[in-house]
Amino acid sequence: MRWYGVSLNTEMNARTMAGNDGEPTAAAAESCAREASAIARILAGERELFHELIRPYERGLYVAAYSILQNEADAEDAAQESVIKAYKGLKSFRGDAKFSTWLMAITLNEARSRLRQTKGDQFDSIDDCDEERGDYTPSMLADWRYIPSEQLERKELRQALREAMACLSPEQREVLILRDVRGMSIAETAEATGVSEGLVKVRLFRARLSMQKLLVPKLAPKQRGFMGWLTRKAGGR
């Protein structure tokens, strides 16, 4: 099935309201203005407003932290800690970046720091700082049967996706989550992760091709089809 031209993650892109080139739409500009106004009021003493300011982003912060730490309890703690750090450091937010990008950068730093404490320096491996794309060969197949999102109700599919994600490097998981889960633009992803846009594109390329390579053999075994695999994994239910 071909579906070129279909916008990827429309819901996410609508939420961040920025195009691929990072140019803000009118709705995004309005949202930034509302946030700037809320931040000014919080700094002036209406501190309770901070709860509302972060509410749209809290799920994304958890998912980003989880992408690095791969552990629910650690990711939750890191997300909580980064929100507290953002509150205490709100005065230092200058508005050069979007508030959501600034908040995400704090969360990524918090999660990276925890990862370093527990597992040593896993970030910025030589391979993932190299802007050469390398020679990636995807899983070859003659046809792809579209898997609708409704199939995510099956835990076997969700588990397969999470297991594939766990096989990526932390740097690759990070950009995949920001771009393809949170719908951030390339420029915002670069800003939040602190690397160049070129490196974001390279990491995305590696992450996406790796996900295809890891998942296609599981989701579309030859002659069996995804539904057959799913049924067998679920014990024939």
Partner 1 sequence: MMIDCRHVWSQVSDYIDGTVTQGERETIERHLANCRHCSAVMDSTRNILVLVGDARTFEVPVGFGERLHNRLQRSMDAHESDE
CB 124: neighbour CB atoms within 10 A? Answer: 15
Residue (121 or 135) nearer to partner 1, CB: 135
Tokens found for residue 95: 């508005």
- Those residues whose C-beta lies under 8 Å from the C-beta of residue 41, and which sit 6 or more positions away, are 49
| Cα–Cα distance, 67 to 219 (Å, whole number) | 22
Interacting residue with partner 1 among 92, 117, 149, 223 (CB under 8 A)? 149
Interacting residue with partner 1 among 17, 28, 35, 58 (CB under 8 A)? 58
Smallest gap, in angstroms, from Cβ of residue 111 to partner 1?
A: 14
Interacting residue with partner 1 among 180, 187, 231, 233 (CB under 8 A)? 180
| Cα–Cα distance, 225 to 151 (Å, whole number) | 14
Interacting residue with partner 1 among 102, 105, 208, 229 (CB under 8 A)? 208
In Å, what is the CA distance from 12 to each residue of 25, 129, 178, 185? 14, 27, 10, 10
- Write the single-letter amino acid at 175: V
Interacting residue with partner 1 among 116, 119, 162, 224 (CB under 8 A)? 162
If one asks whether residue 157 binds partner 1 (CB under 8 A), the answer comes out as: yes
Tokens found for residue 38: 């809320």
Judged on CB neighbours under 10 Å (0-12, 13-18, 19+), 94 is exposed
Residue (27 or 152) nearer to partner 1, CB: 152
What residue ranges bind partner 1 (CB under 8 A)?
A: 1-4, 6, 8-9, 12, 20, 47, 50-51, 54-55, 58-59, 62-63, 66, 72, 76, 79-80, 83-84, 87-88, 133, 135-144, 146-147, 149, 151-153, 157-158, 161-162, 165, 176-177, 179-181, 183, 186, 201, 204-205, 208-209, 211-212, 215-216, 219-220
